[in-house]
Amino acid sequence: MAVAPMTKVIDSDVHPWVNGDIEGLKPYLSSAWQERFEGRLRLPDHPLRPPLAGATSIRHDAKPPSGGAGGSDPHFMREDLLDRYNIEYAILSSIQAGKLATLPNANEATVLARAFNDFFVNEWLTVDSRYKLAMCVAVHDPAEAAKEIRRIGHDKGVVAVFMPLLNILMGNRYYFPIYEAAEELGLPVLIHPTGTEGGFETSVSFAGGVPSTYIERHTIFPEIAIGNVVSMVLEGVFVQFPRLKVVVAEFGYTWVPHFLWRLDQNWRQFRREVPWLQHEPSKYLLEHVRFTTQPEEEAEKPEYLLQILEMMHADRTLIFSTDYPHWDNDVPQNTLRHAPETMRQRIFYENAAELYGLA
Partner 1 sequence: MFAMKHYVAPVSQIPDGQRLITTVNGRSIGIFNVKGKFYALRNVCPHKQAPLCLGSLGGTMVPTDRPGEFEYGLEDRVLRCPWHGWEFDIATGKALFGISDRRVATYPVEIEDDKLYVEMR
Instruction: Draw the binding track, 181-200, toward partner 1 (x: CB under 8 A; -: no contact).
Output: --------------------
- Please report how close the Cβ of residue 268 comes to partner 1 at its closest, in angstroms: 4
- Please report how close the Cβ of residue 167 comes to partner 1 at its closest, in angstroms: 21
Measuring CA to CA, which residue among 184, 142, 132, 183 is closest to residue 163? Answer: 142
Q: Which stretch binds partner 1 (CB under 8 A): 34-42, 102-110, 234-242, 318-326?
A: 234-242
3 binds partner 1 (CB under 8 A): no
- Please report how close the Cβ of residue 150 comes to partner 1 at its closest, in angstroms: 23
DSSP state of 253: S
**Nearer to partner 1 (CB atom), residue 237 or residue 355:** 237
Of 75, 156, 173, 337, the one binding partner 1 (CB under 8 A) is 173
- Please report how close the Cβ of residue 266 comes to partner 1 at its closest, in angstroms: 9
**Nearer to partner 1 (CB atom), residue 181 or residue 234:** 234
Q: Is the dihedral of CA 128, 192, 66, 29 positive or negative?
A: positive
175 binds partner 1 (CB under 8 A): no
Q: Is the CB of residue 294 less than 8 Å from the CB of residue 301?
A: no
d(CA 151, CA 135): 11
What are φ and ψ of residue 239, in 5° steps? -80, -45
Site for partner 1 (CB under 8 A): how many residues?
A: 19
Of 237, 247, 314, 339, the one binding partner 1 (CB under 8 A) is 237
- Please report how close the Cβ of residue 228 comes to partner 1 at its closest, in angstroms: 16
Instruction: Draw the binding track, 247-276, toward partner 1 (x: CB under 8 A; -: no contact).
Output: --------------------xxxxxxx-xx
| Half-sphere exposure at residue 125, Cβ-oriented, CA atoms within 13 angstroms | 20
Q: How many residues does the chain have?
A: 359
**Nearer to partner 1 (CB atom), residue 119 or residue 284:** 284
279 binds partner 1 (CB under 8 A): yes
Of 280, 287, 297, 328, the one binding partner 1 (CB under 8 A) is 280
Q: Is the CB of residue 23 less than 8 Å from the CB of residue 115?
A: no
What are φ and ψ of residue 229, in 5° steps? -65, -45
Q: Is the CB of residue 293 less than 8 Å from the CB of residue 336?
A: yes
**Nearer to partner 1 (CB atom), residue 153 or residue 281:** 281
**Nearer to partner 1 (CB atom), residue 31 or residue 269:** 269
**Nearer to partner 1 (CB atom), residue 81 or residue 277:** 277
42 binds partner 1 (CB under 8 A): no
**Nearer to partner 1 (CB atom), residue 32 or residue 276:** 276
Angle, CA of 95, 100 and 104, to the nearest 5°:
160
**Nearer to partner 1 (CB atom), residue 261 or residue 270:** 270
Q: Is the CB of residue 305 less than 8 Å from the CB of residue 254?
A: yes
Query: What is each CA distance from 76 to 16, 53, 122, 124, 157, in whole angstroms?
Result: 11, 21, 17, 11, 19
How does DSSP assign 127-158, residue by residue? T-TTEEEEEE--TTSHHHHHHHHHHHTTSTTE
- Please report how close the Cβ of residue 232 comes to partner 1 at its closest, in angstroms: 10
d(CA 133, CA 124): 9
Interacting residues with partner 1 (CB under 8 A): 173, 235-237, 239-240, 267-273, 275-280
